[in-house]
Amino acid sequence: MKFVKSAICIQCGEEHHALPGLTTCRQCGGLLDILYDYPAIAANLSKQDLAARQDNTMWRFREFLPVAEESVAAGLLSSGLKVGGSPLYPAKALGGQLGLSSLFIKDDGLNPTASLKDRASALAVIKAIEAGADTIACSSTGNAASSLAGNAAARGLKTFIFVPSRAPKGKVAQLMMFGAKVISVEGSYEDTFRLSAEAIDRWGWYNRNAAINPYMLEGKKTVALEIAEQLNWQAPDYVAISVGDGCTIAGVWKGFKDLYETGFIDKLPRLISVQAAGCCPINNAVDADSETLVPMEENTLADSIAVGVPRNFLKAVRAIKESKGITVNVSDQEILEAMALLGKTQGVFGEPAGVTGTAGLIKALAEKRIPADATVVSVVTGNGLKDIANAINAAGQPLLLPPDLERLAGEFKNLGWLS
Ligand SMILES: [Zn+2]
């Protein structure tokens, strides 16, 4: 790993060699953060170098990623699923409706298994190969699981996946299709996580659990690297993102900080941390200016972010505070409304958790917590086809009628569809 210095514990500060199988602090069991040699990256990589690269995947930023030189030499970066390179749309119609002059939508639902989690899983499978493992396991609310199963299948690795039994069918269908061994746990995400951790301990699989494995956040940060490059190296004023486990928002912050430290951007954005009101332990801690987790129940239809005991709690809380970010909690109704509005105005179809960031942005604007002339990026983290039941809830039912033109004309008149 050319530019990786070490893995440092975020609790006790102990520095470790960043071995591929190392996931938590050997001293205290705390979470680890990967440290880079920023001057060396800056000396070896320029904006022009990046502009000249044909590779449109997340690996175009390989200098910022913890991948062994042997993996690069073996061609591992170009042989898996094509992860990253998702579009950043100028959202003029939605921005206009919200009174925001400069709004962009980063549609990360367009990744190979249809969520941002592919960025973490693509790196996870490479770290598993580097660690000599042939089997990877994780627990997930759904998307981390489907992305791990897909990215592992593409490389011939076996997967054991633990999901809460409430996981939407679209996500479970993906898992089964990718050949994963799926364990559907009758319990909360916390129960699911605990069982997976015990099983990983017993059978010695590679652990992709997002919060425990520090490399997952490194993969996720590539969404920030892409946003900055797509904005021609102008960091936005705000980035709105949904928050569950905390790994994604912490990853977004790390990505922007990496770019700042290496001189690719000259300012940092503020984070808009959006959680479902029915499950918002990270925002609660930020609002209370506390670093103590108070677990919550998981009462929201946005299944991907229904995490009552977020494992990346500390990294997320610190990221939001460091960025001088703001917290917004939204109701399930506000999430469904944002889902429909985003689809209608921009043609972007996100799942409930995927558009929760947008729902929070809409609320923050209505409450005048964000200036109308700010440049804002809203990240859509997962595709709406993963959760059809809630999509129908958000968008409503089609007009049902027999094949009769006069009936159709009558309905058009009633509904005002032609005016
Ligand atoms: Zn430690």
Query: Which residues make up the environment of ion ligand 1, defined by Cβ < 5 Å?
Result: 9, 11-12, 14, 25, 27-28, 30
Q: How big is the chain, counted in residues? A: 419
Structure tokens at 74: 């073996």
**d(CA 8, ligand 1 centre) in Å:** 8
The domains of the chain, with CATH numbers, are 88-114+216-395 (3.40.50.1100)
Where are the strands (E) in 310-371, listed by range?
326-330
- Across the strands, what pairs with 115? 382
Listed in sequence order, the DSSP H helices in 22-168 are 38-44, 47-52, 69-73, 76-79, 92-98, 118-130, 143-153
pLDDT, position 210? 65
What pLDDT is recorded for position 53?
A: 97
Residue with tokens 């919550």: 296
Confidence at residue 5, expressed as pLDDT on a 0 to 100 scale: 96
CA of 12 to the centre of ligand 1 (A): 4
Distance 69 CA to ligand 1 centre (A): 27
Amino acid at 321: K
* Ligand 1 geometric centre to CA of 245 (Å): 20
- CA dihedral (253, 353, 120, 63) in degrees, to 10, reads -30
Distance 169 CA to ligand 1 centre (A): 39
Tens digits of pLDDT across the chain (419 residues): 889 999 999 999 999 999 887 889 999 999 999 999 999 999 999 999 999 999 999 999 999 999 999 999 999 999 999 999 999 999 999 999 999 999 999 999 999 999 999 999 999 999 999 999 999 999 887 888 899 999 999 999 999 999 989 888 888 899 999 999 999 999 988 899 899 999 999 999 998 886 678 999 999 999 999 999 999 999 999 999 999 999 999 999 999 999 999 999 999 999 999 999 999 999 999 999 999 999 999 899 998 898 999 989 999 999 999 999 999 999 999 999 999 999 999 999 999 999 999 999 999 999 999 999 999 999 999 999 988 899 999 999 999 999 999 999 999 999 999 98
d(CA 236, CA 377): 7
Q: In angstroms, what is the span from residue 314 Cα to ligand 1's centroid?
A: 13
Q: Residue 211: its pLDDT value, please?
A: 67
Q: How far is the CA of 311 from the centre of ligand 1 (A)?
A: 15
Which pLDDT score is estimated for 59? Answer: 98
| Cα–Cα distance for residue pair 257/262, rounded to 1 Å | 9
What is the model's pTM? 0.94
CA distances from 18 to 33, 65, 214 (A): 9, 12, 10
Q: Is the dihedral of CA 368, 372, 373, 375 positive or negative?
A: positive
Give residue 419's pLDDT.
Answer: 80
